[in-house]
Chains A and B, each alone.
Chain A
Amino acid sequence: MIRPLLVVCAVLVIALWTALVVGPGDVGHAQVAATLMGQEVPMVAHALVWDLRLPRSLLAVTVGASLGLAGAIAQGLFRNPLAEPGVLGVSAGAAMAGAVALAAGLDAAGPWAIAFAACAGAVGVLLVLMAWARADARLSTLILCGVALASVCGAITTLVLSIGIERWEVGIKVVRWLMGSFDGRSWSHLGVGATTLLVGGAASVWLRQDLDALQLGPDTAASLGADLRKTWRVGIGAVGVLAGICTALTGVIGFVGLVVPHVARGLVGSGHGRLLPASALLGGTLMLLVDLLTRTVTAVALPPGVVTSLLGTPVFLLVLARLRTEVT
């Protein structure tokens, strides 16, 4: 059970080192090591490694870990293996709120303004879903509700973009943000991402036992002493903050929250005490590998969300097919 996670840790370390060495400019292993140890290196090498590659790579790990964690919490909360911020429309809600905030010029108020708006959008969608799930918690209903919410949010985002045709600079700003990227992200972005992950991590520690109890059904969980209302509130808040701030930092990145908890479950089992940290570890590793791929395969920068969607869609269909088989 532990060995696969050690392998993932090793992959993460190797990928992180590769991310620091690979890229434009002539920066070798020795210069990377010297930069990390604070030794004298040429200014360009220092800029490439310390100012650009290191914060970018660590942010990719942080965002991937946050999305993996958000997916695992959402799946536990909704007792549904397809509950994921992207599928449930949470990412679309965050994107919609972020796009509206950008169009309104709130980005001038500072980097936290868009993050706050995106969080509000994510939490708003989750609250609607939560109300719906209480009345009818069936898988198909939940997914359809998520599709409907994502559709509404997508329509509002399109409306913002259509206004952007008349205001070109707004349109390009929103499109660039929606496409998402780790490019040009600094230590201050990493600070926001790391703080978010810490908050989400603390919430997951608090939630782990109640989420385990919830898998037995709400009534049984309540009889075991779980405070369901508080669990819902903390869980919804954690997923909203994790997905919302990640979307604000790097744009919409789908399917990480869906794929990663499934793989983690296969490695460490269904107990949330291990599932949640394993999802974070796997999510961070996957996102770093995706970022490494998108910035080295072509000279043109690819949005990471494109790659995660290409990888995640087949997994989503696979899980859906497996669930159908189990039901029949």
Chain B
Amino acid sequence: MKRLAVALLWLSACARPSTEPSDTVRIASVTIDSDATLWALGEATRAQVVAVSALVDDARYSPIVDVWPAELPRVTGTSESLVALRPTVAFVAEWSDPTGRSLLEQAGIDVVVLSGYGGFDDYKARVRTIARAVGAAERGEALVTAFESDVADATSSVGRGKTIISYSSGNVAAAGTTFADEAEAAGFVNLAAREGLEGHVQVSLEQLVAWQPDVIVVPCEADCAATERAFATQPGVAATPAAKAGLIVALDPVLLFATGPRMVEVTRALGVRLAEATQ
């Protein structure tokens, strides 16, 4: 059955005659993360890309809207659409369908599974993985160095041990998340991590109020100021030090949930808001 499926996938790939030499590197990117990193790796790498992810131009999720040429195919990660583009290497996320991945591998495509979205170190590791896979290890190392420099610039003690919580749809960002690194770099104590929680964990609003955070970070959809005001009216929230000090901070979700170089911007934004509130 599997062989039949592979054969069918190859048939679909053979539907269009190939004009490229067989040793040409053809890169298919199915994650926004790899879309951004491949763009950052420079002209030579960009020229090898045959497809980017379907969400790359969606401003709600992507940090690089409208940078990739419009004529470049956008793919959603299905085996058929990928194989039809005859890539030699495909970047997929760890949560992609394992059966589809296996079929791509059997079709001779070098499938690179990107994993680990937990913070600064994970981002650096992913950049190195992508760069190595496309033969641009040196340029990848330069990106990592630039990111480390950015982090060093943004790192401060502005939080000075103040407690902070990131709360989104009932989930807090605890240890091992991008927010944990972002908050720590600004000098804050991530309450969820201090309480021994790991990853994105669902906690009650009651728990949030009982923790008494100095700063609460929430994602905003359109009007961030309105989101901050609305969150402050949630039951019990007015009793938190964050609400009393005007430190309910709503951030653009593209920024708050960033897993790439824009993570540093969260660290900077937190520092700026705290400085404004204490003036």
Contact = CB atoms under 8 A, between A and B. Distances in A.
Nearest to A295: B204
A189 B34 CA distance: 44
B20 interface: no
B278 interface: no
Contact of A300 (B202, B221, B239): B202
Contact of B206 (A24, A43, A176, A187): A24
Given A168-B61, A299-B197, A300-B201, A184 B234 contact: yes
Contacts of A301: 170, 202-204
B209 A183 contact: no
Interface stretch (A47-55, A70-78, A224-232, A272-280): A47-55
Greatest chain A CB density within 10 A among B206, B212, B237 is at: B206
Interface in B200-252: 201-207, 209-212, 221, 234-239
A258 B217 CA distance: 42
A40 to B, nearest CB: 14
Interface string A36-65: 000000011011100111011000000000
B203 A300 contact: yes
Given A169-B221, A299-B197, A24 B207 contact: yes
B202 A48 contact: no
B210 A48 contact: yes
A244 B61 CA distance: 34
A44 B236 CA distance: 8
Contacts of B234: 184, 186
Interface string A195-226: 00000000000000000000000000000000
Contacts of A176: 169-170
A310 to B, nearest CB: 19
Nearest to B61: A168
A23 interface: yes
A172 interface: yes
Nearest to A49: B236
Contact of A52 (B197, B209, B211): B209
Chain A interface secondary structure, helix, strand, loop or mixed?
Answer: helix
Given A52-B209, A183-B170, A300-B202, A46 B61 contact: no
B60 interface: yes
A110 interface: no
Contacts of A168: 60-61
Greatest chain A CB density within 10 A among B201, B235, B237 is at: B235
Given A172-B169, A176-B169, A299 B207 contact: yes
A118 to B, nearest CB: 20
Contacts of B170: 176, 181, 183-184, 301
Contacts of B169: 172-173, 176
B97 to A, nearest CB: 13
B236 A52 contact: yes
B235 A184 contact: yes
B239 A53 contact: no
Contacts of B210: 23-25, 44, 48
A187 to B, nearest CB: 8
B239 A183 contact: no
Contacts of A186: 234-235
A149 B19 CA distance: 54
Contacts of A187: 235
Contact of A184 (B201, B204, B253): B204
A187 B234 CA distance: 11
Contacts of A300: 201-203
Contact of B238 (A47, A172, A181, A184): A47
Interface in B78-105: none
Interface in B100-145: none
Nearest to B58: A166
B209 A48 contact: yes
Greatest chain A CB density within 10 A among B238, B239, B253 is at: B239
A320 B239 CA distance: 50
Contacts of A183: 170, 204-206
Interface in B34-82: 60-61
Nearest to B243: A47
Interface in B127-180: 169-170
Contacts of A55: 235
A172 B211 CA distance: 25
A23 B239 contact: no
A23 B238 CA distance: 19
9 contacts: A25-B206, A47-B209, A47-B235, A53-B206, A169-B253, A176-B170, A183-B206, A184-B235, A301-B204
Interface of A: 23-25, 43-44, 46-48, 51-53, 55-56, 168-169, 172-173, 176, 181, 183-187, 295, 299-301
Closest 9 CB pairs of A and B: A25-B210, A47-B239, A24-B210, A47-B236, A184-B205, A51-B236, A51-B235, A43-B239, A52-B236
Given A24-B210, A184-B204, 14 more contacts: A47-B235, A47-B236, A48-B206, A48-B236, A48-B239, A51-B239, A52-B206, A53-B206, A56-B206, A169-B253, A181-B170, A183-B170, A186-B235, A187-B235
